[in-house]
Amino acid sequence: MAHELHDTAKAIVADHKGILAADESTGTITKRFDSIGVESAEENRRFYRQLLFTAPRMEDSIGGVILYDETIRQSADDGTSFAEVLSAKGVIPGIKVDTGAHEQAGFPGEKVTEGLDGLRERFEEYRGLGARFAKWRAVITIGDGTPTDGNLRANAHALARYAALSQEAGIVPIVEPEVLMDADNSLEVCWEVTTRTLHETFAALYEHGIDLQGTLLKPNMVIPGKGARDQASPEQIAEATVNTFLGVVPAAIPGIVFLSGGQSEVQATENLNAINKIGGPWALSFSYGRALQQSALQGWGGDAANAEAAQAAFVHRARMNALAAAGEWSAALEQPVAA
Ligand code: 5MM
């Protein structure tokens, strides 16, 4: 079992590949569809995900796709399940298993992620449906007096319990403690909060006997908040990010796959590239949602006639990010995609 977990974790990030986070819950995909004026009907969601998963040569840059519960039960036009469509291309199917972040009782303004009840049985079912890795996202909010130690510990404990159940089922856990970049905090504050978050997370993973070689970490970059007066250069973000992780993330973790967190598509690529110019003992790659899909979603606009252009936009972003995961991206490669 340990070997299978190690091999799966390594395969997802092999050859500078990364992950497509296509695990938007119904509420989130509805917001995305609202932004392009498309009704969030089940068939539209299926069509859009099919467009992404069948994009020609996406497998050159994408090693894994995170699916939502509805999506792992859906199929392509020819009846092939999405998990099989991906596996046939050598892309590993994954599943989001948390049921969302909710207000933590007694901790105003902070959230704790739920979904542990019945998770052992759900893992068994998801493995049968083809999932070989999973994801659980904790949301950490920077604010006046937050995050508190109590909130960090509650989220770390849930992440560790999830990871233990995942590995028991032979499924690689992606551990995602996301420090939000929505506030106006400085890079230094993000550095401090990310360090505290990762300390608590790894302490809990040790306590629960998690096999780190069969685990991937999905964190935020160390970056100023969106509203910060002083923004930072990719080099400053890269230096702060790599130094933070060198201090708290064991080299046994095979891959750190960053979330994009609201960065623009090119910004997320440029920052990942700068991070890889420095490098570290882990594969440093991507698990982007918005930063891989924004152009594709807009290019599609709900019209099947635009499907090919949308696929090209997605594959372009995936390729740019795989180059960034090798530290080989440059702005000159950002050719406009023909509509
Ligand atoms: C794709 O978005 C994921 C699902 O979010 P919800 O559960 O709120 O619908 C999300 O977990 C995502 O995987 C990560 O936050 C990274 O996404 P971004 O867009 O920040 O790269």
Residue 89 annotated as catalytic: no
Question: Using one digit for the tens of pLDDT, what is the confidence trace for 291-329?
Answer: 999 999 999 999 999 999 999 999 999 999 999 999 999
pLDDT at 13 over 60: yes
Please give the distance, rounded to the nearest whole angstrom, from the Cα atom of residue 251 to the centre of ligand 1: 25
* Residue 43, pLDDT score: 98
pLDDT at 273 over 80: yes
User: Closest ligand 1 atom to the C-alpha of 288?
Assistant: 21
* Residue 252, pLDDT score: 98
Q: How remote is the C-alpha of 68 from its chain's centroid? A: 13
User: Closest ligand 1 atom to the C-alpha of 24?
Assistant: 9
User: Closest ligand 1 atom to the C-alpha of 260?
Assistant: 21
* Residue 86, pLDDT score: 99
β-pair partners for 288? 20
Domain ranges across the chain: 2-333
Amino acid at 305: A
> Among 19, 67, 135, 260, which residue has the most ligand 1 atoms within 8 Å of its CB, making it the best to mutate?
260
pLDDT at 337 over 90: no
* Residue 335, pLDDT score: 74
* Residue 336, pLDDT score: 61
Dihedral sign from CA coordinates of 237, 148, 23, 44:
negative
Quickly state the pLDDT bin for 64 (edges 50, 70, 90). Answer: very high
Give the whole-number percent of the chain exceeding pLDDT 70: 99
Out of 96, 135, 218, 270, pick the active-site residue: 218
pLDDT at 41 over 80: yes
24 lines ligand 1 (CB under 6 A): yes
Distance from C-alpha of 338 to C-alpha of 244, rounded to nearest angstrom: 39
pTM for the model stands at 0.97
pLDDT at 339 over 80: no
When the pLDDT of each residue in the chain is averaged and rounded to a whole number, the result is 97
Please give the distance, rounded to the nearest whole angstrom, from the Cα atom of residue 160 to the centre of ligand 1: 19
Please give the distance, rounded to the nearest whole angstrom, from the Cα atom of residue 30 to the centre of ligand 1: 13
User: Which residues, at least 6 apart from 308, have a Cβ–Cβ distance to it below 8 Å?
Assistant: none
- Residue whose CA lies nearest to ligand 1 atom number 5: 24
One-letter-per-residue 3-state SS of the chain: CHHHHHHHHHHHCHHHCEEEECCCCHHHHHHHHHHCCCCCCHHHHHHHHHHHHCCCCHHHCEEEEEECHHHHCCECCCCCEHHHHHHHCCCEEEEECCCCEEECCCCCCCEEECCCCCHHHHHHHHHHCCCCEEEEEEEECCECCECCHHHHHHHHHHHHHHHHHHHHCCCEEEEEEEECCCCCCCHHHHHHHHHHHHHHHHHHHHHCCCCHHHCEECCCCCCCCCCCCCCCCHHHHHHHHHHHHHHHCCCCCCEEEECCCCCCHHHHHHHHHHHHHHCCCCEEEEEECHHHHHHHHHHHCCCHHHHHHHHHHHHHHHHHHHHHHCCCCCHHHCCCCCC
Quickly state the pLDDT bin for 338 (edges 50, 70, 90). Answer: low
Please give the distance, rounded to the nearest whole angstrom, from the Cα atom of residue 23 to the centre of ligand 1: 7
Fold observed for domain 2-333: TIM Barrel (3.20.20)
Residue 328 annotated as catalytic: no
β-pair partners for 143? 146
Place of tokens 């993000």: 190
25 lines ligand 1 (CB under 6 A): yes
Question: Using one digit for the tens of pLDDT, what is the confidence trace for 98-138?
Answer: 999 999 999 999 999 999 999 999 999 999 999 999 999 99
